[in-house]
Amino acid sequence: MTNDIIISGFGGQGVMAIGKTLTEAGMKEGKEVSWLPSYGPEMRGGTANCSVVLSDELIVSPIVLEPSELIAMNLPSLIKFEPTVKKGGTIFVNSSVVDQKVTRTDVRAVYVDCIKIAEELGNSKVANMVMLGAYIEAMKNLSTDTIKEMLVHMFTGPKAKLVDLNIEALKRGAACVK
Amino acid sequence: MAIVYQKSKGLTDKELHYCPGCTHGIVHKLVAETLEELGIIGTTIGVAPVGCSVFAYDYFSCDMHGAAHGRAPAVATGIKRVSPPGTTVFTYQGDGDLAAIGTAEIVQAAMRGEKITVIFINNAIYGMTGGQMAPTTLIGQKTTTSPLGRTKEHAGMPIKMCELLSTLDGCVYAERVCVTDIPNLNKAKKAIRKAFELQQQNAGLTFVEVLAACPTNWGKPPIKAVEWLKENMIPYYPLGVYKDSAEVK
Amino acid sequence: MEKELWKGNEAIAEAAIRAGCKYFFGYPITPQTEVPEYLSLHLPEIGGCFLQAESEVAAINMVYGAGGCGVRVMTSSSSPGISLKQEGITYLCGSEVPCVIINVMRGGPGLGTIQPAQGDYYQATRGGGNGDYRTPVLAPANVQEAADFVRMAFDIADIYRNPVMVLADGMIGQMMEAVEWHDIEKRELPAKPWATTGTQGKREHNVINSLYIQPEPCAEHNEKLEKKYKLIEEKETRYEEIDAEGCEVLFTAYGTTSRVCRAAMKLLADEGIKAGLFRPITVWPFPYAQLKKAAAQNSVKAVVVAELSLGQMIDDVKIALEGSKPISFIGKAGGLVPTPREVADAAKKAIGR
């Protein structure tokens, strides 16, 4: 089982963080993992993306040309990567900012109103965690418990209160998957 | 018999290769004596340049590095930053090395306030390669690459390193001296000693520019060369202290 | 042992610290900047020194000064910056000063691009500086190897009194993979009586220098260096073979490109073509004899060289094979990476399928 994932969006939307969280969670669950960012001028405000591979076997190449899953956090990302997604793959769309639908009929589309949900939770910064919750619910390739453990590890001291907020964000994202 | 004079322990027994009337030998002696007097030969690391003093690593009895052309302040930075506290580091550089190809290295080392001493020999010419124009060559001075004499229009005005470096906060001491006669030689010795003492106090980069004669490439006998230096170089490169922002404790 | 997720550049920096390197001199350039960034934070914590130099030229000369004092010291850069360091590298080799140099390659020539490339192969293996000198070059293909090779590089540098280069590329520098900080092979390291640590009045002065103005001593020095390089060739040549036994197509690639070849091998296997990989780990010394042996199998119909450059390592493959097998080439330069499909198709073409 191998997941070839592309996560793409504007700089500042947390696309690199979604990728890193998926990668680290995969590693903690004993999978082979790799995370490869696009880097360069696009990091300074334009569209950024990263490729994540989670696999039960040795990853020969970290470059994802045909993703099994695409997480499109903005419209340019959907336009750019939709045609590359494998037949039968899944496209996650941040419907808060992408006002178009997936046009392909041979893939599964999951729409997540990331920003609206995050704002309902009182912190727009967790929009990417909402998306992550949706991804894990749809793909069932990782356990949310692993992510929860990582959150506990990540937010300590005065930041510990962010753990529950992030877990709630994951749940609300999961609820978007039908 | 009482010994009234002997060679400094700061120098090796290697025979100097310098031309008759060249100033390098005198300045080597002053540096070596200073190291000996301060008792720091065993804890000093020197950096030799590319130019006529390229073999300085053979002449000083302390540990030495030979550096690529112009890079001595960078090499000295590396040495100083990794050596135990109390290690003295100096560079010995000519005008082509320091004021042309190595301008970036000396300016940046001075900006950082590297705790090193720089002995800068300014003889207004490239000696080792046979008398080409240096950035310090005077207006009107003929060299093999300014055969009709340097002009401001073509090559700009000669660079004044003491003045330039003294604008930098990290350069705590800059003095220009010459060694044309005993009073000046004594002043030069004092300046060199002060430069090393300030380094021992970790004050910052200390810089001593020595106006030097190059009889061979100037095409003058040694005495005439000294006269030429006094008449032509000193008016453009006035002697004196340009920066003295730290006190010797 | 626990696996940790590390970005390539940061793993390189951490590996240096774990190798006992306390000193780093460098200059920012994409895609290696995380190396100096990481060390600027962590070297002061261990009483070391990070210094951002005014240029790569100054940085490598600071390394020369520091290495001459006998400490473990490192610099890192990317292609255009490595060009600037060539002066220092030839001096380091001539003066026999050990150090580690990281090149996280990007596309060239000139300013090129910041995307991954392998266009500095000639520069790394032949030397971009003047004179007869060599630097051992270790080429990692993943982040784990980057972490391991940096530590190995410090040992090789100390054992042979020579700079050692770790030749990565933008992909390895930028990607994150799992790393285990396992022990590397423990090697016996020589003392450094030549280091300029101050005579303390107890010995003759030490001189770190590459100038031998008389031709006879200079020739003698060169012969001594050459003997050392021959010893390095004999002792330090490293390579890996993957599924090479009985293969029809033998890929030869290093670093990132070797990973693309492995993906291509899978595609070929699906089509019933057995492909193997010969991966030089040291690109200098190049494993000439080992490659020749792998290619000499009756099953091997063609050797396919893959590079992120337009035919540099292929020269070494030609030297190795001495015309014994057909060699074909697939490569891209300027920051693009050939796809596994393109590499597989090149292999099929090479064997007429």
ipTM greater than cut 0.85? yes
In angstroms, rounded to a whole number, what is the distance separating the alpha carbons of residues A6 and B106?
Answer: 49
Sheet harboring C327-331: ordered strands across? C239-242, C275-280, C249-252, C302-307, C327-331
> C58–B83: do the CB atoms touch at under 8 Å?
no
Q: At what angle do helices C340-350 and C255-270 cross, to 10 degrees?
A: 70
Single-letter code of the amino acid located at B185: L
The position carrying tokens 């540098």 is: C157
Residue C118 in tokens: 């392998």
- Give percent of chain B above pLDDT 90: 96
How many residues are listed for chain B in this entry? Answer: 249
Q: Does C24 touch chain B (CB under 8 A)?
A: no
Q: What are the distances in angstroms from CA B194 to CA A165, B26, B165, B198, C309? A: 65, 17, 17, 6, 56
Q: Is A68 helix (H, G, I), strand (E, B) or coil?
A: coil
Identify the structural domains of chain B with CATH numbers, from first to last: 24-244 (3.40.50.970)
> C207–B58: do the CB atoms touch at under 8 Å?
yes
Return the ∠ at Cα B243 (arms to B240 and B248), rounded to 5°: 100
Q: Is C284 helix (H, G, I), strand (E, B) or coil?
A: strand
Q: Identify the helix (H) or strand (E) that includes residue B66.
A: strand B63-66
| pLDDT reported for residue A47 | 77
CB B72 within 8 A of CB B205: no
| pLDDT reported for residue B1 | 82
> B78–C206: do the CB atoms touch at under 8 Å?
no
φ, ψ (nearest 5 deg) of residue B88: -100, 135
> C209–B105: do the CB atoms touch at under 8 Å?
no
The strand pairing partners of A71, in sequence order, are A7, A92
Residue of C4, C7, C176, C262 to mutate, testing the A interface (most A Cβ within 10 Å of its Cβ): C176
Q: Identify the helix (H) or strand (E) that includes residue B216.
A: helix B215-218
Rama region for C131: left / alpha / beta (φ>0; ψ in -120 to 50; rest): left
The 8-class DSSP code of residue A52 comes to: E
The 8-class DSSP code of residue C113 comes to: -
CB C95 within 8 A of CB C69: no
- Alpha-carbon torsion B103, B108, B110, B114, what sign? negative
Q: Identify the helix (H) or strand (E) that includes residue A170.
A: helix A162-175
Nearest to C56 by CA among C89, C82, C18: C82
In chain C, what residues touch B102 (CB-CB under 8 Å)?
Answer: none
CB-side neighbour CA atoms (13 Å) of C266: 12
In chain C, what residues touch B48 (CB-CB under 8 Å)?
Answer: 209
CB B53 within 8 A of CB B92: yes
State which residue of chain A sits closest to C266, comparing Cα positions. Answer: A60
pLDDT per residue as tens digits for the range B174-204: 999 999 999 999 999 999 999 999 999 999 9
Rama region for B152: left / alpha / beta (φ>0; ψ in -120 to 50; rest): alpha
> A27–C178: do the CB atoms touch at under 8 Å?
yes
In chain C, what residues touch B116 (CB-CB under 8 Å)?
Answer: none
φ, ψ (nearest 5 deg) of residue C325: -140, 150
CB within 8 Å of C129: residues ≥ 6 apart:
C86, C87, C89, C90, C91, C93
Q: Does A32 touch chain C (CB under 8 A)?
A: yes
Q: Identify the helix (H) or strand (E) that includes residue C240.
A: strand C239-242
Residue of B77, B97, B111, B200 to mutate, testing the C interface (most C Cβ within 10 Å of its Cβ): B77
Q: How many CB atoms lie within 10 A of CB B57?
A: 26
Residue A173 in tokens: 């994202």
The position carrying tokens 């590396």 is: B78
The strand pairing partners of C241, in sequence order, are C278
> C177–A37: do the CB atoms touch at under 8 Å?
no
In angstroms, rounded to a whole number, what is the distance separating the alpha carbons of residues C140 and C177?
Answer: 13
CB C196 within 8 A of CB C209: no
In angstroms, rounded to a whole number, what is the distance separating the alpha carbons of residues A70 and A67?
Answer: 6
Q: How many CB atoms lie within 10 A of CB C288?
A: 17
Q: Does B132 touch chain C (CB under 8 A)?
A: no
Residue A41 has pLDDT above 70, yes or no: no
Q: At what angle do helices B103-112 and B72-82 cross, to 10 degrees?
A: 30
Q: Is B44 helix (H, G, I), strand (E, B) or coil?
A: strand
| pLDDT reported for residue B247 | 81
The strand pairing partners of C106, in sequence order, are C116
| pLDDT reported for residue A40 | 64
Single-letter code of the amino acid located at A144: T
| pLDDT reported for residue A46 | 65
- Whether a cis peptide bond, with omega within 30° of 0, leads into C285 is yes
The strand pairing partners of A33, in sequence order, are A54
Nearest to C163 by CA among C189, C136, C138, C139: C136
- Low-confidence residues in chain C, pLDDT < 70: none
Sheet harboring B44-48: ordered strands across? B240-244, B171-178, B205-211, B117-122, B88-94, B44-48, B63-66, C207-208
Q: How many CB atoms lie within 10 A of CB B7?
A: 11
| pLDDT reported for residue A11 | 78
In angstroms, rounded to a whole number, what is the distance separating the alpha carbons of residues C221 and C212?
Answer: 8
Nearest to B203 by CA among B174, B242, B170: B170
> C207–B63: do the CB atoms touch at under 8 Å?
yes
Nearest to C199 by CA among B12, B201, B202, B118: B12
Q: Does C80 touch chain B (CB under 8 A)?
A: no
> C65–B74: do the CB atoms touch at under 8 Å?
yes
Return the ∠ at Cα A13 (arms to A8 and A14), rounded to 5°: 80
Q: Which of C175, C262, C263 sits opposite A34 (nearest CB)?
A: C175
State which residue of chain A sits closest to C173, comparing Cα positions. Answer: A36
> B75–C67: do the CB atoms touch at under 8 Å?
no
Alpha carbon of A100: minimum distance to chain C alpha carbons (Å): 30
Based on DSSP, count helices (H) and strands (E) in chain C, helices before strands: 12, 15
In chain C, what residues touch B82 (CB-CB under 8 Å)?
Answer: 22-23, 49, 65-66, 69, 71, 73
- With 0-12 / 13-18 / 19 or more C-beta atoms within 10 angstroms meaning exposed / middle / buried, residue B222 is middle
pLDDT per residue as tens digits for the range A52-76: 999 999 898 899 999 999 999 999 9
Residue A45 has pLDDT above 80, yes or no: no
Residue of C9, C105, C171, C175 to mutate, testing the A interface (most A Cβ within 10 Å of its Cβ): C175
> C54–B105: do the CB atoms touch at under 8 Å?
yes
pLDDT per residue as tens digits for the range B84-139: 999 999 999 999 999 999 999 999 999 999 999 999 999 999 998 989 999 999 99
CB C65 within 8 A of CB B47: yes
Nearest to C23 by CA among C77, C64, C56, C84: C64
Identify the structural domains of chain C with CATH numbers, from first to last: 4-236 (3.40.50.970), 240-350 (3.40.50.920)
CB C287 within 8 A of CB C239: yes
Q: Can you list the alpha helix ranges (DSSP code H) found in chain C? A: 8-18, 34-42, 56-68, 79-95, 121-126, 143-160, 170-174, 215-236, 255-270, 288-295, 313-321, 340-350
- Alpha-carbon torsion B96, B101, B102, B108, what sign? positive
Identify the structural domains of chain A with CATH numbers, from first to last: 2-175 (3.40.920.10)
The strand pairing partners of A92, in sequence order, are A71, A110
φ, ψ (nearest 5 deg) of residue C132: -85, 100
